[in-house]
Structure 1
Amino acid sequence: MTGPPPPGPGDPPPDLGVSSDAERAATAAGTGGTPLLDFAGRSTPYIDYQSIDVLLGLQHPRSGAAPELTFYILGQVKELLFKLVYEEMVRVRGLLDQDRTADAVWSLRRSRRVIELLVSTWDVLGTLAPAEFNAFRDHLGQASGLQSYMYRMVEYVLGNKEPALARPHRRVPGVSEAVQEALNSPSVYDAALALLARHGADIPAAVLTRDMSRPYEPDPHVERAWAGVSRRADPADPLFLLAEALMDVAEGMYRWRALHLLTVERVIGFKPGTGGTHGVAWLRRVTEHRFFPELWTARGTL
């Protein structure tokens, strides 16, 4: 007999109960310190906690080419990491709004590590030889990473507001609303500039009250404010630690884009992309963008 179907993505997770340190110690004493191997029901607590049966049932390659599974799974891994980066950045923004700078720096530190995982996915995808990728590329149709709404939300929460790039998601229920909220909300950088202003920095009102859905325009006052923070270089200064933590994230995202460009050029050369772009030429232009621009330019004034 087969068991009940696994829970779907919208179903509530199974109730796993709650165990305490004392209960875990009692269990270990009862097993003699060896793993629990027998469980009631038709699942295990780990499968239920992580929804493993659902997760491992979500891979549906479209061709018979073996290398496609590498491309497919790495794409899904990236989407999960995009979600994690986005949620961390939303949390950082909230912490900055509350003047909890030290907590924000701690979360930015962790986020940089997540971004490093994202960067490392290109090391795996770069092992696909051109012939291996071409064996399944036609099966992508018009599917392209440019259509990743989770990545678009990461770009928006970090401050790269390009309203036109929200258009692919405008007819997707639930997704459209989430993307628009990310577009219209202040970015992490906006929250950092507001914090600087609260600490006495000369940040123009026009910067703080601008239309948050429009691309950010660098401002010389902001550059001078960050230069002042960097010039002090005081490890005990929360603003200095924030500036460096933001730069860690910005640099990590640049590495992500740069290695994306390099990987695409290595695997498909200068062919057009599946999503309508010229491929490498589009990526090269995108790679030139910098998150938190005055944090970069301020360094040239020190």
Structure 2
Amino acid sequence: MNDNEPKPYDPATEGARMSFQGRMAYGDYLGLGDLLNAQHPLSDAHDEMLFIIQHQTSELWMKLALHEMAAARRAIAEGDLQPAFKMLSRVARIMEQLNDAWDVLRTMTPSEYTQFRDILGESSGFQSHQYRMIEFVAGNRNMAMIGPHEHRPDHARALRDEVAKPSLYDTVLARLAAEGFDVPARDRLDVAHQPDAAARAAWLAVYRDPARYWELYELAEKLVDFEDYFRRWRFNHVTTVERIIGFKRGSGGTSGVAYLRKMLEVVLFPDLWELRTEL
């Protein structure tokens, strides 16, 4: 090397550790050996790797969403709303990440998907127990939806255990009651939330005087943010499926696009949407 040529940058000269023998390194902490070796395509199709990684990363984001939702529910139950706001905001951003992932999957054409769709057998996102748990935690509870998870007793048990607890929205309604609003607890926790006149009246009072009820007002808007992004995720799911397989039946046996369109009708927090008409 010419003496006048600049020497390659060496981070060690500034104190960076360059050897990690016997020490915890980045890949060790994150378990990247297992994570990056968890993709096992069953065909030679180029796009199968995209399909696998798309769904695996979505499951990781859903795991984080459940972590945040559980912590938010505990904080709300304890009346500690400020940390819950941060957690619920994070859940909405996670849903945004899940939405963006559809843009990547939509680069796969119908012709490319048909090259490996048959090898999926009956596996389907319909069987995602974490997605189902997100719905159950939020309050959209339908016991029939535990059926696709019965082959995994641990997953089915976790969903049943969740149904025995107040949902996130039940916990929010209990917080309204604790603040003096006449909002009775639900008789059944194993069904989806339906519009409730008493809850809607309470939220109307909050929205008509947000300065007085600022924390409750903020809490309601965090829930609406979450559901807003959740609805977008469902809509993008429908659009992606229709774009790639048209109106074929889903690999898990559902009616495909028709089933997903029906899911668009589900409202997690109906009182918070209905009150807007009355303001």
TM-score (structure 1 length as normaliser): 0.85
C-alpha separation in 1, matches of 2:98 and 2:45: 24
Shift of 1:283: 0.4
Match of 1:198 in 2: 178
Question: Letter of the aligned partner of 2:141 in structure 1?
Answer: K
Match of 1:5 in 2: none
Would you say 1:298 and 2:249 are equivalent positions? no
- CA-to-aligned-CA distance 1:49-97 (integer Å, 9 cap, x gap): 0000010111011111001111100100011111111111111110011
Match of 1:221 in 2: 198
TM-score (structure 2 length as normaliser): 0.92
After superposition, the Cα gap between the structure-2 partners of 1:192 and 1:140, relative to the gap in structure 1 and judged at 3 Å, is same
Which residue, out of 50, 56, 70, partners 1:70? 50
Any conservation in 2 of the 1:159–1:291 contact (CA below 8 Å)? yes
Question: Letter of the aligned partner of 2:17 in structure 1?
Answer: L
Match of 2:82 in 1: 102
Which residue, out of 216, 234, 251, partners 1:257? 234
What pairs up with 1:282-293 in 2 under 5 angstroms? Answer: 282-293=259-270
Any conservation in 1 of the 2:61–2:94 contact (CA below 8 Å)? yes
Any conservation in 2 of the 1:223–1:297 contact (CA below 8 Å)? yes
C-alpha separation in 2, matches of 1:274 and 1:89: 30
Would you say 1:143 and 2:123 are equivalent positions? yes
Task: Report sequence identity in percent.
Answer: 40
Any conservation in 1 of the 2:206–2:213 contact (CA below 8 Å)? no
Match of 2:224 in 1: 247
C-alpha separation in 2, matches of 1:229 and 1:236: 6
Shift of 1:34: 5.2
Any conservation in 1 of the 2:248–2:255 contact (CA below 8 Å)? yes
Would you say 1:33 and 2:14 are equivalent positions? yes
State the superposition RMSD in angstroms. 1.7
Any conservation in 1 of the 2:193–2:270 contact (CA below 8 Å)? no
Match of 1:233 in 2: 210
Match of 2:99 in 1: 119
C-alpha separation in 2, matches of 1:271 and 1:77: 25
Shift of 1:179: 2.0
Would you say 1:168 and 2:145 are equivalent positions? no
C-alpha separation in 2, matches of 1:298 and 1:227: 6
Question: Letter of the aligned partner of 1:122 in structure 2?
Answer: W
Any conservation in 2 of the 1:226–1:298 contact (CA below 8 Å)? yes
Runs of 4+ in 1 over 6 A off after TM superposition: none
Q: Show structure 2 runs of 5+ residues with no match.
A: 1-10
Any conservation in 2 of the 1:223–1:295 contact (CA below 8 Å)? yes
C-alpha separation in 1, matches of 2:274 and 2:166: 22
Any conservation in 2 of the 1:93–1:191 contact (CA below 8 Å)? yes
C-alpha separation in 2, matches of 1:235 and 1:260: 39
Which residue, out of 96, 119, 132, partners 2:112? 132
Question: Letter of the aligned partner of 2:236 in structure 1?
Answer: L
C-alpha separation in 2, matches of 1:200 and 1:134: 58
Any conservation in 1 of the 2:12–2:18 contact (CA below 8 Å)? no
Match of 1:81 in 2: 61
- CA-to-aligned-CA distance 1:249-291 (integer Å, 9 cap, x gap): 0111001101101111111111111111111110000011111
Q: Show structure 1 runs of 5+ residues with no match.
A: 1-29
SS at match of 2:91: helix
C-alpha separation in 2, matches of 1:70 and 1:200: 51
